[in-house]
A and B are shown apart, each in its own frame.
Chain A
Amino acid sequence: MKPRTERSRELLTKLMATPVRRKYFETLRRMLGPSGLISIREEQFFLVLAIAIGLLAGFCVVLFRVAIAAARIWLLGSSLHPSTTRLLLVPSLTGLVIALIAVRYFPRVRGSGVNQTKGALYIYDGYIGPETVVAKFVLTALAIGSGQSLGAEDPSLQIGAGLASAMGRWLKLSKERLRLMAPVGAAAGVAAAFNAPITAVLFVIEEVIGRWSTGILGAVVLSAISSVVVERWFLGDEPLFRVPQYTLNHPGELLAYAVLGVTGGAASVVFVKIIKNLRPWLRRQPQWSQYLQPGVAGLLIGFIAIWFPQVMGAGYEWMDLAMHKRFAWEVLGILAGLKIVSTALSFATGTPGGLFAPVLFMGAMLGGFVATVEQQLFPAIAVPVGAYALVGMGALFAGILRAPMTSVFMVLEISGNYSIILPVMICNSISYVISRAFQEVPLFDLLSRQDGLDLPSLEEEPERALLRVEDAMRPTLGRALLGDEGIGSARGIAASTQETNFLVSLGEGRWSVLSREALLSPEHDETELVRSLIRARVPRLYQDQSLEVALRFMRDRPMLPVVHRANLDLLMGVVSVEDILRTYRKAGVAEPETVEVS
């Protein structure tokens, strides 16, 4: 009997006997890597990796949330009502420890983590050091656990991005792929922290990537979903808030919601202005004071918490109560105001922690406040406090973080109620417009610029009007040459113009460019077809394409044809490099230094 290996070899030879079989097995062999595992193309691998990142970021965020809860118990005690001594000592002393570590050893962990992640994406080729991730994890857990008025979502974003970055480097991904890892991890982080994958994807696109990019969308979505699966596996699928039922009874109620939009916009401007002025002022203070600032902020927050403990931490449980009419209007108003102050203090002093949750808190309280006041002033109008609190969250999110798409979908995702979409859109739009009118630069861009970084912004993108091929193209003088016409006829056309290059239509939407020199070359007989002179085809352009696309296609070609999308042989005009440059010069895009910095 033959040995087993020999029999296998014989079988393989038999199987590969025909060309078709050989091709099939060749493909299979290519899929088998040196380790015997299936190896896949880089794009596919990237998607698989996105799922893996989502899972790992999910684990990290679950541990992060547990760490925050454990820190809270450890530092402030397990009772719902900590003693006054603890309220004063814990946030201040923990603030001092955090400042010591953050200022001296890990300056990149200060702040929310959104603009740091964006900076990593655009400046450091997607690099976020592992030490930053670990320090962010520990220090933010301590900060929120000790009662600083900050949230866990934005740090989760940075932790997820850092994890993804580390994995990308470990897997030795290409530079281009490595740069994309940060947003993939960021989406996973924020999705697990907020238990809302759609919101996470949109937030990452609006705030981190800063532009709509279809190339990365699939990976971002996959990572966000996988991390939410992990989060729900370990922490349950309970929503952040128990959202009351809501129905819009009469379109007239939308007017009442508009008041919330205006109030939300005003509150957003106030908050951003405080951060805008307080943060650089605190940074200008002597270096030694940087070590004290988070401690002082903690002391002030602890002092506020003696009467209003709701301002401490993220405060999701209080938002839930606000939605269920558990606070009087005076309390709601005071809480909204105090949260603006306490969050500004925590954030401007550089304490690590996010703005996401505090912004929602402000919105919920403000929404509840406006609803209860409207209820008293106009008892005839149906004013559901829960819906107002929810819509208020969206309004403040749109006004402060200036992520309008995210703000709308966030409310829809956490409420699971489509009827609320009209009030949300109205309120968010009003708040957003007011915020833009009084504060030109969005908060995260403002923070980046205060840190000396100029990063792209989705909001500013549309302001730079997109230049299109139609803006640069010029009409052709005379008709294009035809591939099937004689060289003699073509020379006749050339003789009637001064053009140095001619477009040649080859039919079925194919085009080429022929130089005057090649056309008039005596090497070719006049009876030959123009087609015989063609060496290469050129790509065609459409009027609606951007000039950036046109430039990419241009290479060293003297011109490109612009054709009709419905008739690819119909020439609309031509574009050359000179045309494109002339158009850019004429458009005159705003230069970075002319933009407001702080």
Chain B
Amino acid sequence: MLTLSLIIVLGFSFTRLVVGSFNNMQRGLAERYYAEGNRAMDEKRPAQAVTAYESALVYSHNSLQYRLKLTDALVASGASSEAMAQLRDYREQRPEDAQVNLKLARLEAHGQHVDEALRYYQQSIDGVWPDHSDPVPQKIDARLEAAEYLVSLGRKDEAEGVLVAVAAELPAASPEQPRLAELLMRNGDSDRALNIYEMELSQKKNDPAALLGAAQASLAGGSYSTARRYLEEIKPESPEAAKLRGELDRVEALDPFARSASGKVRTERTMAAFRIALERLAACGAPFAQSMTNIKTGAATDPAQWSGFAKWAEQLAPMMNERKLRGRDDVIESAMRFALRSEIAAQKNCGKPTLDDEALLLLARQRLGAGQ
């Protein structure tokens, strides 16, 4: 019995030694191939990176880090479906893994699968992050990414829900505060954005980025004087600040709803906005021009958007002079709605806006809300 026990102890020790050495060798090989894959990715050779990462996974097949890198390489080499399959395989074993869910969400978002993307984003937010890292900032990052995706989709209410949740749990000193403010701005919530920028300014006085953000938020909220005050505090003036100042000037010059505007100024500004919008639509190209021609020749109108704008413009055009607009707040209102809606439609479908168009878009956001 004693000899038998001794043999077992010796067998155990020898096996441990051999397995330990072999594991070290495998670890070394895995790291070598991983480094090779990273190098290939840096040098924009995704196909070689895929081979290298696959080889690394042979020797360390449970490494999530390697698998995530492999999926990056697969996406880069155009094999998104293979990347998706890799991640789904992994997710079957660990459905709670936040990193995998986040990657899947990105791939689904890239593939325009909105519901799946949102589901994976949510599972990533609720999921488990690696032990060695602090999960809070990563969860916040995932929330912000999900919110950004929702904003890009124009799902304002859902985005607002996520952003408000982030605002509640994000520490005041977090470097993510400006990102949150920017997303709030993009989602049309300039008040909350302004609050965040002001909070930033209370901590970092005269911070140019926070001042610029506060100016943008004020401008978006219609507080032109506040916006101008923030812009004046930016020293030295940056190109972005100069651009915003120009925008502010144009908005002030174009806004017929400003309290200081007299009746004459209102009509002039309305006519100017109508003209700018018409030029923008005309610059959009053939469909609008064709619709206008059809209306003039009495040809059958089509139900499409452009013909709708053409018809609307046709009805408003005869009213666009000082005499007819005087005292006609309803026509001014209609003309401004036309101008603002045309700018929004043109923003989605046409080329780069001019400074005047941007000013009208800002007004549109104030009056109609983002994405309207």
Q: Which residues of A are interface residues toward B (Cβ below 8 A)? A: 35, 37-38, 48-49, 52, 55-56, 59, 62-63, 66, 69-70, 73, 78-81, 230, 234-235, 238, 242, 244-245, 317, 324-326
**Contact: A234 with B92, CB < 8 Å?**
no
Contacts of B85 in A (CB 8 A): 324-326
CB contact between B11 and one of A59, A78, A235, A238 (< 8 Å): that residue: A59
Contacts of A38 in B (CB 8 A): 1
Q: Is B305 an interface residue (CB 8 A)?
A: no
- Of B51-59, B118-126, B202-210, B329-337, the segment with at least 4 beta carbons within 8 Å of chain A is B51-59
Contact flag A66-B18 (CB < 8 Å), given A55-B8, A59-B11, A325-B85: yes
Closest to A235 in B: B19
Closest to A37 in B: B1
Q: Is B63 an interface residue (CB 8 A)?
A: no
- Nearest Cβ on chain B to A285's Cβ, whole angstroms: 38
Contacts of A80 in B (CB 8 A): 51, 54-55, 58
- Nearest Cβ on chain A to B1's Cβ, whole angstroms: 5
Q: Per-residue 0/1 for B276-289: is the Cβ within 8 Å of any A Cβ (1 yes, 0 no)?
A: 00000000000000
Q: Is B89 an interface residue (CB 8 A)?
A: yes
CB contact between B92 and one of A81, A230, A235, A244 (< 8 Å): that residue: A244
Contacts of B261 in A (CB 8 A): none
Q: Is B324 an interface residue (CB 8 A)?
A: no
Contacts of A324 in B (CB 8 A): 85, 88-89, 92
Q: Per-residue 0/1 for B87-113: is the Cβ within 8 Å of any A Cβ (1 yes, 0 no)?
A: 011001100000000000000000000
Contacts of A245 in B (CB 8 A): 92
Q: Could you say which of A48, A55, A235, A325 has the most chain B C-beta atoms within 10 Å of its C-beta? A: A55
Q: Per-residue 0/1 for B1-32: is the Cβ within 8 Å of any A Cβ (1 yes, 0 no)?
A: 11010011001101110110010011001000
CA distance A46 to B142 in the complex (A): 60
CA distance A325 to B88 in the complex (A): 11
Closest to B55 in A: A80
Q: Could you say which of A63, A78, A81, A238 has the most chain B C-beta atoms within 10 Å of its C-beta? A: A78
Contacts of A48 in B (CB 8 A): 1
- Could you show 19 A-B contacts with beta carbons less than 8 Å apart? A35-B2, A37-B2, A55-B12, A59-B15, A63-B15, A66-B18, A66-B19, A70-B22, A70-B25, A78-B55, A79-B33, A79-B51, A80-B54, A81-B51, A81-B55, A234-B19, A245-B92, A324-B89, A326-B85
**Contact: A69 with B2, CB < 8 Å?**
no
Contacts of A63 in B (CB 8 A): 14-15, 18-19
Contact flag A79-B4 (CB < 8 Å), given A59-B11, A62-B19: no
Q: Per-residue 0/1 for B54-76: is the Cβ within 8 Å of any A Cβ (1 yes, 0 no)?
A: 11001100100000000000000
CA distance A70 to B22 in the complex (A): 8
- Nearest Cβ on chain A to B147's Cβ, whole angstroms: 32
CA distance A400 to B53 in the complex (A): 37
- Nearest Cβ on chain B to A242's Cβ, whole angstroms: 6
- Nearest Cβ on chain B to A239's Cβ, whole angstroms: 10
Contacts of B22 in A (CB 8 A): 66, 69-70
- Nearest Cβ on chain B to A497's Cβ, whole angstroms: 62
Contacts of B2 in A (CB 8 A): 35, 37
Closest to A48 in B: B1
Closest to B15 in A: A59
Contacts of A35 in B (CB 8 A): 2
- Nearest Cβ on chain B to A168's Cβ, whole angstroms: 12
CA distance A55 to B62 in the complex (A): 27
Closest to B29 in A: A78
- Nearest Cβ on chain B to A138's Cβ, whole angstroms: 14
Contacts of A242 in B (CB 8 A): 89, 92-93
Contacts of B89 in A (CB 8 A): 242, 324, 326
- Nearest Cβ on chain A to B321's Cβ, whole angstroms: 66
CA distance A234 to B20 in the complex (A): 9
- Nearest Cβ on chain A to B138's Cβ, whole angstroms: 26
Contacts of A230 in B (CB 8 A): 15
**Contact: B18 with A79, CB < 8 Å?**
no
Q: Could you say which of A37, A66, A326 has the most chain B C-beta atoms within 10 Å of its C-beta? A: A66
CA distance A79 to B56 in the complex (A): 9
Contacts of B29 in A (CB 8 A): 73, 78
Contacts of B25 in A (CB 8 A): 70, 73
- Nearest Cβ on chain B to A417's Cβ, whole angstroms: 13
**Contact: A56 with B8, CB < 8 Å?**
yes
**Contact: B19 with A55, CB < 8 Å?**
no
- Nearest Cβ on chain A to B338's Cβ, whole angstroms: 51
- Nearest Cβ on chain A to B256's Cβ, whole angstroms: 60
Contacts of B18 in A (CB 8 A): 63, 66
- Nearest Cβ on chain A to B325's Cβ, whole angstroms: 64
**Contact: A79 with B8, CB < 8 Å?**
no
CA distance A230 to B11 in the complex (A): 11
CA distance A37 to B6 in the complex (A): 14
Closest to B54 in A: A80
Contacts of B58 in A (CB 8 A): 80, 317
Closest to B1 in A: A37
Contacts of B88 in A (CB 8 A): 324
Q: Could you say which of A37, A80, A234, A325 has the most chain B C-beta atoms within 10 Å of its C-beta? A: A80
CA distance A235 to B59 in the complex (A): 13
Closest to A245 in B: B92
- Nearest Cβ on chain A to B57's Cβ, whole angstroms: 8
**Contact: B4 with A52, CB < 8 Å?**
yes
CA distance A88 to B8 in the complex (A): 41
Contact flag A234-B15 (CB < 8 Å), given A52-B4, A78-B29, A242-B93: yes
CA distance A455 to B19 in the complex (A): 38
Contact flag A79-B55 (CB < 8 Å), given A234-B19, A235-B19, A242-B93: yes
CA distance A238 to B62 in the complex (A): 10
**Contact: B12 with A59, CB < 8 Å?**
yes
**Contact: B11 with A55, CB < 8 Å?**
yes
